[in-house]
Amino acid sequence: MALNLNLNFGEPGRHYVRAYEPGDDFYEALVELHRDLSDEQSQQVNARLILLLSNHIGDLSVLREAMAIAREGAVG
């Protein structure tokens, strides 16, 4: 499995008028996930979410590629 860097958000059976709508929906859900949490609680939720999604992906080569790309954006 290769890391998919194309837009890939959506819900089965839901029709979107604009291509960016599913990404906006995800962002809104992510903001709501963190609402009313302390910084520490927010970090815990992020860590747990990363582990849950990583387990769902399962392919270590894809996860390593994603980590490298994410680090590039943070380090410069």
- pLDDT 10s digits, 22-31: 999 999 999 9
The residue extents of the domains of the chain are: 38-76
- Give yes or no for residue 76 having a pLDDT over 80: no
- pLDDT 10s digits, 46-66: 999 999 999 999 999 999 999
Tokens standing for 72? 């590039």
Average pLDDT of the chain, as a whole number: 93
- Give yes or no for residue 36 having a pLDDT over 80: yes
pTM above 0.75, yes or no: yes
The pLDDT of residue 29: 96
Euclidean distance between CA atoms 66 and 64, whole angstroms: 5
